[in-house]
A and B are shown apart, each in its own frame.
Chain A
Amino acid sequence: MAERAGRRGAPSRGGRARALGLGLVVPAALLAVWYLVTASGAVPAYQLPGPGAVWRAAVDLAARGDLGHHVAISVQRVLSGFVLGAGAGLAVGAAVGLSRLGDALLSPTLGAVRAVPSLAWVPLLILWLKIGEDSKVTLIAIGAFFPVYTTVSAALRHVDQQLVEAGRAFGRGGVRLLATVQLPAALPSVVAGLRLALAQSWLFLVAAELIASSMGLGFLLNDSQQNGRVDRILLAIVLLAVLGKLTDALIGLLERRLLRSWT
């Protein structure tokens, strides 16, 4: 057990730095290859501009104040959609996972709704909520809802019944039983669901912004495609990668805190 904890649970400071360093090897290599193929002229700049050009595009957009704006609005949309969707996913997942009635009543319908491809919602949301923030945040919330709902309902349904019975035997019932036994038992799955939901939120953000928006990273992608600005397209992609990884790392931190007692 000690060696397992050493491997996965709580890496030492040196181990963490080493992991970080190793994780940077591939991005650095990709950057080098990118630089080489563009600087050597192997790939024409109108198809693939070099890292320098993308950097200049970033500086240029930042100087006009547009870059910060795009990033801020996208992050805001992702976070509000994520919070709303994940919150609803937790509540509905708990209702379905804990009560047989909730399961019988809701899971067939939700299963069917989940089968609808995300983009199919866009026309409806735009008609109902107009091309404002509401329609985008709602689409992202739909995207964040399902991973949380699915993992939470399954995890609560599969909580060890012997532990639940032990909780009951010691006088826990209802909310108290949920707080003492069921929720802690399901916690690792809940956190995994939140992580998936966040990734899904970024996916749905781009879908929402590509179709109808005048701001945000998805808009930047669409706008740059129409203007043939490949440098800005690459910039938006890199920013999405970095932001997605950063928010995921935040959840990772939360995970480590929450699951400290599990390891």
Chain B
Amino acid sequence: MHQLALPVLLAAVGRTFATPDGSREVLRDVNLDVHAGEVIALVGPSGCGKSTLLRQVSALDTPTTGTVAVGGTPVTPGDRRTAVAFQEPRLLPWRTLAANVALGLPLRTPRAQGAARVAELLDLVGLADSATLRPRQVSGGMAQRTSLARALARDPGVLLLDEPFGALDALTRLRMQDLLVNVHETRPTTVLLVTHDVEEALYLADRVVVLRGLADPATAPSAGSVARVVDVPGERPRDRADHVLTDLRAELLEDLGVPTHVRP
């Protein structure tokens, strides 16, 4: 039943929204070749289209121009090969955590097999004892872990994470990052992770893709959305205090317009 990690190919992807004040271009000419099993972090200033880019891959939205292909074929709505964990947990409040995870199972999974898989995933995210609780009875961190388990239940070739740890407290966030490293090691899958946390990107990703805001006056009128792609050295799990990473972090923050120190 294992689905292998799948490559993602974004070719000249652009997205323009029609608004009452005219059209608003959010993404322009995004080209990205993600290898199977690779972890990609998407960072950029708010409004730069990180989440929109992720929505193109999950087929919850359709690009205005260009194409998105997973494993060589275009993505379709509700694509069996991809799974999303949203910024908010988005759990069904009337279902138990276990039943919420079961929502992620591929349709027509045999009942017994599905139940076993849900139990296994709850165990993986450390919620085995909370299976029968309802979303309102658990903390934000537990809800996010449930949301991650639900995405994993799909056994996706490509896992799409939209700032899934953004709303969590700092310590819970670090634990969730380690959990993700652990999950990726046990069951390699391609990961596209949207984050506003540069440290998180450097800790988790093989490559960090920096997007630029098209509305920013400093952006050249013809420039594409991808400002640069940074290869992150070293194998996971990484040392959070590694000086190579801290140097990269300063460099990336500068790219995002936030110098780490005040210049004289």
Please give the residue numbers on chain A whose beta carbons come within 8 Å of chain B beta carbons, in ascending order. 1, 162-163, 165-173, 176, 180-181, 184-185, 187, 261-262
B92 at the interface (CB under 8 A from A): yes
Partner of A184 from the list B88, B92, B106, B107 (CB cut-off 8 Å) is B92
B88 x A169 contact (CB < 8 A): no
CB contacts (< 8 Å) of B86 on chain A: these are 162, 166
Q: Taking the nearest CB of chain A, how far is it from the CB of B190, in angstroms? A: 17
B78 at the interface (CB under 8 A from A): yes
- A-B contacts, 27 of them at CB < 8 A, read A1-B136, A163-B92, A166-B84, A166-B86, A166-B90, A166-B103, A168-B78, A169-B58, A169-B78, A169-B83, A170-B83, A170-B103, A170-B104, A170-B150, A170-B154, A171-B80, A171-B106, A172-B78, A173-B77, A176-B107, A180-B92, A184-B94, A185-B94, A187-B94, A261-B95, A261-B134, A262-B94
- Of all chain B residues, which has the CB nearest A260? B94
A169 x B93 contact (CB < 8 A): no
15 extra A-B contacts, CB within 8 A, seeds A170-B150, A184-B94:
A1-B136, A163-B90, A163-B92, A165-B60, A166-B86, A168-B78, A170-B78, A170-B103, A171-B78, A171-B80, A176-B107, A185-B92, A185-B94, A187-B94, A262-B93
In B153-167, the 8 Å CB interface with A consists of 154
CB contacts (< 8 Å) of A185 on chain B: these are 92, 94
**Complex formed: what's the CA distance from A176 to B90 in Å?**
18
**Complex formed: what's the CA distance from A171 to B154 in Å?**
10
Pairs of residues from A and B, 7 with the lowest C-beta to C-beta distance, nearest first: A171-B78, A166-B90, A261-B94, A169-B84, A262-B94, A162-B90, A184-B94
Total contacts A to B, CB within 8 angstroms?
Answer: 49
Interface string of B64-91 (1 = CB under 8 A from A): 0000000000000110100110101010
CB contacts (< 8 Å) of B154 on chain A: these are 170
**Complex formed: what's the CA distance from A109 to B262 in Å?**
66
**Complex formed: what's the CA distance from A167 to B86 in Å?**
12
B16 at the interface (CB under 8 A from A): no
Q: Taking the nearest CB of chain A, how far is it from the CB of B101, in angstroms? A: 11
CB contacts (< 8 Å) of B107 on chain A: these are 171, 176
Chain B, interface SS category: loop
B137 at the interface (CB under 8 A from A): yes
Q: Knowing A1-B136, A169-B58, A170-B154, say if A181 contacts B88 (CB, 8 Å).
A: no
B94 x A173 contact (CB < 8 A): no
CB contacts (< 8 Å) of A172 on chain B: these are 78
Q: Taking the nearest CB of chain B, how far is it from the CB of A159, in angstroms? A: 11
**Complex formed: what's the CA distance from A157 to B104 in Å?**
24
Q: Taking the nearest CB of chain B, how far is it from the CB of A1, in angstroms? A: 7
CB contacts (< 8 Å) of A167 on chain B: these are 103
- Of all chain B residues, which has the CB nearest A262? B94
Q: Taking the nearest CB of chain B, how far is it from the CB of A14, in angstroms? A: 25
CB contacts (< 8 Å) of A162 on chain B: these are 86, 88, 90
CB contacts (< 8 Å) of B137 on chain A: these are 1
Q: Taking the nearest CB of chain A, how far is it from the CB of B1, in angstroms? A: 16
Interface string of B90-119 (1 = CB under 8 A from A): 101111000000011011000000000000
